[in-house]
């Protein structure tokens, strides 16, 4: 084998099936090794999309996602997707294919210091050099899958990729099991929950990585503790559960904050402040933090107790404790949910964004996966969408980058081919990543891509209005609406302007033999009421 073939064999042994990227001459040796070694190279329209797709493959499978780029501009483009995996905490191997070793460090075309670029947004950035490839790769895989998980960057000079390897495919060590929290921490936590009359749990994104999804449910169900979720944690327990009170810090957030502050104890279950800091909403309510690492607390946040360690073991211990009671009533929780859902759906005269979201929800089967993008619609979807199960609700909330939705949906369909997948994005996001329609078409995947066309960068326009600034630089299209073309890059396109037509279009697109663009012409004026109130 040469080193490129050794790398591919090792990654395949890890369980990696796809690698996303854009080639250059420097990338060709590893692409050829992928062709002969059984890992599919997926050509994307942009390296950032390759990073987003690799993030989601890692997120859904627990196996590191793989993305590949050339040096210089390829690497800088890739960095956006790698940063996503860094803050959203997804396992990833990101490979940059570089100049020959003797050219590194020179003032030469396209060369930059890749390690300086990736160091702040990865768990490690390591050079692959002749004689260290197997050892470095095995170490990278273990680092990427050790909690808190994340991306590892590897830099591969072309001469190293082509050089003969004298190493065997390395043995891969499993990530170390995180230590359990000390017994005294559980004593304090159980005492805090027992004394609370109105405890309320907030489930966060670190809980997404529990290998047994029912552990969160078992804890909540046994002690009958009402719960809310952060955006990324939606679906870890069915949003329709009678103890559910909705998503926090998205649409109608003031209504949620007011309710949360009626609690006398907030229980953070795998709550990662990368999604939203505690001080934004917790007020003076004391915190019990149950997580994999120390909480990042702003001034004024009162952390009464904390259980820091292996989250699975922590939940098992707390679930095994004697049942505790509280003063919450089913009627109180049901009334809150009813009011919350009414506020999310104000009276409107035209086909609105929230009606479009409901229509897509009605069309997507319960086992289906939703991937969406960043903007005003993110707030509305996060609060409004009912997610019945884990890993069916894909968004970036730590990195929070536009451009995530479509490559994420493509990766979801590759990872879970038997499950229906829908991509729901704004028109600004569509402009950023419409080239990935060609990727979806080339892969022949069934994928409805619903574009909420309101002609604005809606979130920024709302912020301009609220600050009493002029509306400037946020209009995406000034002319009157025109029906979409018959296709984009050979992908069929249709336009709809009412909920019934949208639902039917999504249902039909889920039966198609390839991707479909559905342009939903919506009025988003209600964002002013829902997104920031």
Phi and psi torsions of 269, nearest 5°: -105, 100
Spatial CA neighbour of 30 closest among 111, 126, 97: 97
Q: Is the pLDDT of residue 290 over 80?
A: yes
User: Could you tell me the CA-to-CA distances from 326 to 197, 317, 383 in Å, in that order?
Assistant: 5, 20, 26
CA atoms within 13 A on the CB side of 58: 33
Same domain, 248 and 353: no
Same domain, 214 and 75: no
First to last CA, the chain: 60
Same domain, 511 and 362: yes
Residue 481's pLDDT band (boundaries 50, 70, 90)? Answer: low
pLDDT of residue 234: 97
In a domain, 407, yes or no: yes
pTM of the model: 0.95
Residue 524's pLDDT band (boundaries 50, 70, 90)? Answer: confident
Q: How far apart are CA 483 and CA 23, in angstroms?
A: 35
pLDDT of residue 151: 98
- Among 286, 302, 330, the domain boundary falls at 330
In a domain, 506, yes or no: yes
- Structure tokens, 128: 């692959």
- For 117-207, list the strands marked E by DSSP: 124-127, 151-157, 199-203
Same domain, 505 and 386: yes
Q: Is the pLDDT of residue 483 over 90?
A: no
Same domain, 361 and 410: yes
Spatial CA neighbour of 373 closest among 22, 56, 43: 56
In a domain, 496, yes or no: yes
Same domain, 351 and 326: no
Q: What is the mean pLDDT of residues 114-138?
A: 97
Number of residues assigned to the chain: 533
**Helix, strand or coil for residue 144?**
helix
Same domain, 242 and 156: no
More confident residue, 167 or 483: 167
Tens-digit pLDDT profile for residues 33-42: 999 999 999 9
Q: Is the pLDDT of residue 212 over 90?
A: no
Task: Write down the mean pLDDT value for the chain.
Answer: 95
- Domain of residue 507, CATH code: 3.40.50.970
- Domain of residue 308, CATH code: 3.40.50.1220
- Among 279, 304, 330, the domain boundary falls at 330
pLDDT of residue 480: 73
3-state SS, one letter per residue, for 48-96: HHHHHHHHHHHHHHCCCEEEEEECCHHHHHHHHHHHHHHHHCCCEEEEE
In a domain, 236, yes or no: yes
Tens-digit pLDDT profile for residues 447-476: 999 999 988 888 888 888 889 999 999 888
Torsion angle of the four alpha carbons 407, 409, 414, 415, in this order, in degrees rounded to the nearest 10: 110
Question: How many Å separate Cα 295 from the centre of its chain?
Answer: 21
Q: How far apart are CA 522 and CA 354, in angstroms?
A: 9
Percent of the chain whose pLDDT exceeds 90: 91
Q: How many domains does the chain have?
A: 3
Q: What is the mean pLDDT of residues 44-61?
A: 98
Q: Is the pLDDT of residue 188 over 70?
A: yes
Tens-digit pLDDT profile for residues 409-441: 999 999 999 999 999 999 999 999 999 999 999
Contacts of 69 (CB under 8 A, 6+ apart): 21, 22, 27, 47, 50, 75, 77, 78, 94, 95, 96, 97
Same domain, 187 and 154: no
In a domain, 399, yes or no: yes
pLDDT of residue 466: 85
Same domain, 196 and 146: no
Q: What is the mean pLDDT of residues 469-496?
A: 85
In a domain, 425, yes or no: yes
Domain that holds residue 20: 3-162
Same domain, 87 and 43: yes
Q: What is the DSSP letter of 2?
A: B
In a domain, 338, yes or no: no
Contacts of 404 (CB under 8 A, 6+ apart): 52, 84, 371, 373, 374, 395, 396, 429
Q: Is the pLDDT of residue 207 over 70?
A: yes
pLDDT of residue 317: 97
Same domain, 319 and 410: no
Same domain, 125 and 81: yes
- For the packed helices 436-443 and 405-415, what is the interaxial angle rounded to 10 degrees? 10
In a domain, 168, yes or no: no
Residue pair 464/472 in contact by the 8 Å Cβ criterion: yes
Residue 86's pLDDT band (boundaries 50, 70, 90)? Answer: very high
Q: What number of H helices and E strands is found in the chain?
A: 20, 19
Q: What is the mean pLDDT of residues 279-296?
A: 96
Residue pair 518/430 in contact by the 8 Å Cβ criterion: no
pLDDT of residue 168: 92
Angle at 147 between CA 142 and CA 14, to 5 degrees: 30
Question: How many Å separate Cα 108 from the centre of its chain?
Answer: 37
- The residue to which tokens 């505790």 are assigned: 324
Alpha-carbon Rg for the chain in angstroms? 24
């Amino acid at each position: 084998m040469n080193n490129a073939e050794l790398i591919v064999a090792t990654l395949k042994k890890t369980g990696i099936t796809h690698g996303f990227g854009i080639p250059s001459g420097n990338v060709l040796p590893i692409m050829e090794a992928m062709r002969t070694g059984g890992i599919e190279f997926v050509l994307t329209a942009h390296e950032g999309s390759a990073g987003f797709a690799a993030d989601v493959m890692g997120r859904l499978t627990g196996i590191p996602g793989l993305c590949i780029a050339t040096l210089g501009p390829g690497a800088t483009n890739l960095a956006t997707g790698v940063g996503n995996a860094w803050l959203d905490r997804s396992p990833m191997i990101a490979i940059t294919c570089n100049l020959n070793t003797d050219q590194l460090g020179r003032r030469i075309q396209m060369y930059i210091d890749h390690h300086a670029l990736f160091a702040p947004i990865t768990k490690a950035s390591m050079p692959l050099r002749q004689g260290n490839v197997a050892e470095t790769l095995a170490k990278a895989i273990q680092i990427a899958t050790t909690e808190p998980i994340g991306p590892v960057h590897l830099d591969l000079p072309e001469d190293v990729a082509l050089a003969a390897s004298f190493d065997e495919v390395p043995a891969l060590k499993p990530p170390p099991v995180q230590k359990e929290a000390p017994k005294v921490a559980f004593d304090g936590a159980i005492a805090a929950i027992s004394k609370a009359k109105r405890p309320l749990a907030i489930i966060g994104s670190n809980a997404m990585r529990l290998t047994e999804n029912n552990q969160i449910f078992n804890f909540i169900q046994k002690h009958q503790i009402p719960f809310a979720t952060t955006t990324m944690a939606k679906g870890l327990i069915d949003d329709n559960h009678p103890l559910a009170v909705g998503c926090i810090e998205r649409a109608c957030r003031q209504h949620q904050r007011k309710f949360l502050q009626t609690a006398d104890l907030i229980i953070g279950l795998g709550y990662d402040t990368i999604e939203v800091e505690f001080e934004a909403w917790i007020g003076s309510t004391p915190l019990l933090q149950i997580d994999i690492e120390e909480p990042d607390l702003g001034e004024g946040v009162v952390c009464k107790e904390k259980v820091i360690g292996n989250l699975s073991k922590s939940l098992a211990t707390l679930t095994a404790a004697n049942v505790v009671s509280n003063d919450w009533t089913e009627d109180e929780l049901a009334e809150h949910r009813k009011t919350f859902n009414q506020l999310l759906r104000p009276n409107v005269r035209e086909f609105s964004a929230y009606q479009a979201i409901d229509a897509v929800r009605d069309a997507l089967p319960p086992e289906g996966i939703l991937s969406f993008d960043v903007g005003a619609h993110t707030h509305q979807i996060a609060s409004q969408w009912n997610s019945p199960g884990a890993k069916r609700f894909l968004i970036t909330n730590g990195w929070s980058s536009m451009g995530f939705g479509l490559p994420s949906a493509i990766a979801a369909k590759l990872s879970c081919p038997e499950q229906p997948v829908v991509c729901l994005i704004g028109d600004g996001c569509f402009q950023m990543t419409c080239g990935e329609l060609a990727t979806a078409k080339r892969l022949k995947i069934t994928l409805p891509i619903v574009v909420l066309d309101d002609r604005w960068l809606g979130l920024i326009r709302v912020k301009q209005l609220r600050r009493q600034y002029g509306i400037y630089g946020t209009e995406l299209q000034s002319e009157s609406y025109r029906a979409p073309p018959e296709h984009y890059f050979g992908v069929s396109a249709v336009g709809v302007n009412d909920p019934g037509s949208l639902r039917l279009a999504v249902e039909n697109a889920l039966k198609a033999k390839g991707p479909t663009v559905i342009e939903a012409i919506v009025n988003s004026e209600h964002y002013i009421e829902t997104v920031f109130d």
